[in-house]
Amino acid sequence: MTRATAQCPSCGAPVEWVSAASVQTTCRYCTSVLVRTDVDLRAVGVKSTVPPTVSPIKLGTKGTFAGRRFTVVGRIVYAYERGRWNEWHLAYDDGGTGWLSDAQAEYAVTEQVPAPTLPSAQEARPGMTVDVNGERFTVSTLTTASYAGTEGELPFEKWDAAVMHFADLRGEGGRFGTIDHSESPPLLFTGKWASFDELNLSELREPEEVKAAARTLACPNCGGSVTVHLADRAVNVVCQHCKAVLDARTPGFTVLQAYHARVTHTPTIPLGTAGTLNGEAWEVIGFQVRSITVEGREYPWNEYLLHSPRRGFQYLTEYQGHWTLGATVRGVPRRTRGARPTAELDGRGFRHFQRANATTTFVLGEFPWEVRAGDLALVNDYVAPPFMLSSEETPGETTWTLSEYMTGAAVWKAFGLQGTPRVPVGVYASQPAPVRTPARATWAAALAMLGLLLVLAVTRYAQGGRTVAADRFEYQPWVAEAQQGRVIGPLVLGGRTSNVEVGVRAVLDNSWGYFDFALADSAGHTTQFGGEVSRYEGVEDGERWTEGSPSRTVKVPSVPPGRYWLRVEPQGDKPFSYEVTVRRDVPSGWMYLVAALLLMLPPALTLVRGGMFEAARWAESDYAPGE
């Protein structure tokens, strides 16, 4: 493809256009801003200077996104109250153009689309929903910005914009958008969030160029040396000597806040410590102490700001020995309101845990946003252990963060810290239950074993015990007691050592009977036992009643095989007939009941333990019992 070329009217150097859609460019030799009239160039009489950057992207960087190859041909640096960000102008190989937003190493690829009726800069507010060509977006951030510099090719003639209003939009499925209110009607850009790896970038800035962007100056408050590593991304830096909060955007630093508190905090992980988490190298560059106050009691926690040239920023927090690692969320969670609000993100449901005002009480190190002691934010936490979804609301901005619980041991290993981590206190909001086997799996295994036990019990009872003897007798009270005894046998008991069940059933008429039994073997060893039967009935107040039972069984356990005799001696107040049955190896239901209880014990303990753990978790929430 033939590119348009011309000479810079300011210095005579050659100027080449990469994108036919570009209107403005910057001479790479004299930094004059040039406007294209298609063949000739016109210098507008200004020099373009851009701040140094730690972004790995530069002019000439190539990449691929959504199947389209592009080249970075231009850059706008926007400055706003809480920081700066880059908008890289993309020239696609298919002739189209777009933008790559690079804000704190969070990337979004967009292009201009026809704009429907959009809210004005005065109407837009965080949380507002906007329908864009059939898509639903939520306004996440309102920003008032200005140009901090431009370089390379841009698709319009503009080199100095003092006040520009933007409304950032977030949608489902990683969709992203921006309403640019610098023109009337406003411009609309939509696209998607992209990870660094998804951009497939090449011809990036060398690491040495990034390191060269660092600067060291004297603190205007105490004179101590202060180094800024993040260049264009740093907004605040805190002097490690006097703890003064300094504005990193000014050439010689400006004191934003002097430190007057008596109590200082020493980070457990020293600033500058490098470590590896989830396969990515990170450096600790910032530290702050934040707290909430509930019923007059203060609950502080520590936050560490981690930076990676490729992944941007993540947040490592520690509260009473509990650690979480989080990053900002690209999409907008779907929320339900009510007595117990919920949130949903990427198909995972979260339950609201607490709502509180978080206050920053101490800061140290470097931050890509403006932060000082006394800063306030309204925080809402939603939990789905081991994850926590949190929103922070400040005037003009709502930020969502997704964090995951991790152990202190993992933090110590990642950063090579000395000693041992602090023992966690209590149960943390997103701490997973310390049960190795999920309760559902435990119950499933127990029910499967219970089913097998039931089959065995049914089979065993179907077989029943083996009847070895049965006989009928008469009892007559007027016969001498010595003549009432009866002997059944010999009883041949074979097989293994097992029980013997003796059952008696009498035909009674408002009377009772008692039976003495003696089971003797051929060696003369005797086991004695007995049992009572009775049967009474009548009519009282027109209603029939009965009581007692005419039958009784007695079981003799662990009877070895052999030859036995059973002697029966009845007693009673009236004559009756009775039947004696002797059975061998009769199933015992209590054994199966005990086995069933033992099988259900592990899942029951898991359930109880989990319930106690969850009770301890929610006792610290807005939904504690009695709250």
| pLDDT per position as a tens digit, 311-328 | 888 999 999 999 999 998
The helix (run of H) or strand (run of E) holding residue 604 is: helix 589-618
Tell me if 18 sits within 8 A of 153, measured CB to CB: yes
pLDDT computed for residue 1 by the predictor: 47
Angle at the Cα of 117 (from 115 to 120), degrees rounded to 5?
100
The helix (run of H) or strand (run of E) holding residue 445 is: helix 439-463
Tell me if 287 sits within 8 A of 303, measured CB to CB: yes
Average pLDDT over residues 509-523: 93
pTM assigned to the model: 0.66
Least confident of 19-23, 264-268, 477-481, 538-542: 19-23
pLDDT tens-place string over residues 109-125 = 999 998 888 888 888 88
pLDDT computed for residue 233 by the predictor: 64
Instruction: Look at residues 413, 465, 473 and name the one whose alpha carbon lies nearest to residue 582.
Output: 465
pLDDT tens-place string over residues 561-577 = 999 999 999 999 899 99
Tell me if 518 sits within 8 A of 566, measured CB to CB: yes
Average pLDDT over residues 249-267: 66
pLDDT tens-place string over residues 567-612 = 999 999 899 999 999 998 888 777 767 777 777 777 777 777 777 8
As given in the structure block, the two tokens for residue 586 are 């009769």
pLDDT category at 484 given cuts 50, 70, 90 is confident
Percent with pLDDT over 90 in the chain: 39
pLDDT computed for residue 236 by the predictor: 66
pLDDT category at 81 given cuts 50, 70, 90 is confident
pLDDT computed for residue 548 by the predictor: 93
Tell me if 73 sits within 8 A of 16, measured CB to CB: no
Instruction: Look at residues 557, 579, 584, 553 and name the one whose alpha carbon lies nearest to residue 486.
Output: 579
| DSSP 8-class letter at 202 | B
Query: If DSSP states are collapsed to H, E and C, what string results for 163-181?
Result: CEEEEEEEEHHHEEEEEEC
